[in-house]
């Protein structure tokens, strides 16, 4: 088995950081669906702004609001306004890994999807 990138939300803008929340990262369900993330799924958060890296779990925020909120102790590492990458992984067989495509989600400054890549793009949509 190999552990492969399953989904990625690239260069999302952190909309809030709440030290007093129990924990996790709150994400707009539209982003979660596009990146194939489920509520309570483990994710890695990479802070482009300051280099911090952490592991937590995703929870759903309000649909369509572009929410990307860091909660709990992680708010010491990631702050409102930071740029982050949110990653999830999957264990796949050696055979599956040879044709594996993650779901890649690229967003704008309001965390609206501007482009999809990898498995998130249908073959007829692929850019050559």
Contact 6, 105 (CB under 8 A): no
- Catalytic, 89? Answer no
- Catalytic, 93? Answer no
From the list 21, 57, 89, 106, the catalytic residue is 57
SS3 24: strand
Q: Please list the residues that pair with 25 across neighbouring strands.
A: 58, 70
From the number of C-beta atoms within 10 Å of its C-beta (0-12, 13-18, 19+), residue 87 rates as buried
Instruction: Show which residues are catalytic.
Output: 24, 57
């Amino acid at each position: 088995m190999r552990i492969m990138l399953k989904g990625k939300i690239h260069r999302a803008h952190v909309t809030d950081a709440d030290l007093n929340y129990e924990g996790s990262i709150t994400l707009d369900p539209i982003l979660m669906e596009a990146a194939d993330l489920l509520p309570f799924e483990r994710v890695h958060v990479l802070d482009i702004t300051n280099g911090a890296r952490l592991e937590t779990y995703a929870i759903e925020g309000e649909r369509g609001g572009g929410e990307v909120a860091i909660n709990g102790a992680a708010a010491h590492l990631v702050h409102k306004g930071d740029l982050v990458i949110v990653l999830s992984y999957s264990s796949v067989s050696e055979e599956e890994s040879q044709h594996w495509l993650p779901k890649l989600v690229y967003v704008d400054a309001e965390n609206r999807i501007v482009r999809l890549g990898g498995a998130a793009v249908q073959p007829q949509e692929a850019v050559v």
